Amino acid sequence: MEKVQKNDFIEITYTGRLEDGTIFDTTDEKIAHEAKIPHTHNKLKPAVICVGEKQLLSGLDNGLEGQEIGKEFSLTLQPEDAFGKRDVKNIEMMPIATFKEHKMVPQPGLQFDADGRRGVITKVSGGRVIVNYNHPLAGKKVIYTCMINKKITDIKEQIQSFLEKTLKMGKEYIPISINDGNAIVELPLQLPPQFISVLAEKLKALTKVDVEFKVKEDK
């Protein structure tokens, strides 16, 4: 059987569970519906990722190399390889005035964003509010059941999937054409030249083709 190697682009389906069987993550629409997992309006589908590029949880990504294509397998991830250990430094006590400045009435269970971090209010008492910035699954061991459906060998699809994850844009916003073995990517906006240079080098290392970026012209 063919096995997965580092830097392979693959299509993978997976479902993540806690030790008690609770499902918290999946690429399967039916499983998500049955487990009542909220997700965007876009239909869930197998993920296309590049092995070794940390496009999944580090422990999951590390466990893909050497797996057989078309054969289901399970990976048990320790907290440090999943959502991190629970850190008391990520639990903060804040004055209630901070929330009033944000025009927010703090209540246990509410999410709170501050300085690029998202936390959950766990307690409100005596003019003080306790916010937990740990990931909700921090400190928990998780189990992923996976199936690698196939390798992705189409260069255009490889570049498209990598850019979707790196730029956080849908493929409809980043059209790609292949000419004489080189790829041309049209971007909807200008990005920093240094970033583009690094991105082009990374894509060449992964796909073995030269990638040129252009800003899409308004018509």
Identify whether residues 169 and 145 lie together within a single domain.
no
Question: In CATH, what number is assigned to the domain containing residue 35?
Answer: 3.10.50.40
Identify whether residues 149 and 204 lie together within a single domain.
no
Identify whether residues 27 and 63 lie together within a single domain.
yes
CA distance linking residue 219 with residue 197, whole number of Å: 27
pTM of the model: 0.86
Q: Express each pLDDT in 87-105 by its tens digit.
A: 999 999 999 998 988 888 9
Question: In CATH, what number is assigned to the domain containing residue 200?
Answer: 3.30.70.2210
Count of domains for the chain: 3
Nearest to 27 by CA among 7, 67, 66, 55: 55
Q: Express each pLDDT in 45-67 by its tens digit.
A: 999 999 999 999 999 999 999 99
The domain in which residue 204 lies consists of: 154-219
Nearest to 43 by CA among 35, 33, 51: 33
Identify whether residues 3 and 27 lie together within a single domain.
yes
